[in-house]
Amino acid sequence: MFSERLRALRRGRHITLEELAQALNQHLDLTEKPNTASQIGNWERGTRTPSYIEVRKLADFFEVSLDYLVGKLDHEEVDLAMLFLSGSQLTFNQTNLSNKDRYEIFQLINGYFHGKNSRDSLNKANLQEELDLNI
């Protein structure tokens, strides 16, 4: 599962094995060996298994959880409420969101769903018909 997910994530970003190796090597400390394209190719073919540290670097690079990368989860799910309440730096179109921005956006989303639930229950109660506007 890991090898298929890694290959799919890399191909989804349209990057080569060499480009991925270079990206993973950007923040090496003195004790780490640089990654190579052939090493990553072996991981994708399943002939070699990366260390925990390497899997962690891959998960960070692709912005997925370790559970997703190793196949424990079928899909990535992010709860926006928890994301807004977390300490993570959030951006929108490369603009950092301040705490005030985060709070206001959270309130807007929360209000949208509260209103949506009210509208849905009101529409069911009224049993309104939809208009057919095909002319």
pLDDT of residue 125: 54
Query: At 63, which CATH number?
Result: 1.10.260.40
Mean of the per-residue pLDDT values for the chain? 83
Examine residue 50 and state whether it is found in any structural domain, yes or no: yes
- Tell me the residue range of the domain where 110 lies: 80-126
Examine residue 132 and state whether it is found in any structural domain, yes or no: no
Q: What is the mean pLDDT of residues 22-32?
A: 86
pLDDT of residue 127: 55
pLDDT at 10 over 80: yes
Examine residue 134 and state whether it is found in any structural domain, yes or no: no
Record the pTM: 0.56
Tens of pLDDT, residue by residue over 79-116, are: 777 777 777 788 888 888 888 988 898 889 888 888 87
Examine residue 133 and state whether it is found in any structural domain, yes or no: no
Is residue 85 domain-shared with residue 65, that is, in the same domain? no
Is residue 58 domain-shared with residue 86, that is, in the same domain? no
Could you give the number of structural domains in the chain?
Answer: 2
Examine residue 19 and state whether it is found in any structural domain, yes or no: yes
3-state secondary structure the chain: CHHHHHHHHHHHCCCCHHHHHHHHHHHCCCCCCCCCHHHHHHHHHCCCCCCHHHHHHHHHHHCCCHHHHCCCCCCCCCCHHHHHHCCCCCEECCEECCHHHHHHHHHHHHHHHHHHHHHHHHHHHHCCCCCCCCC
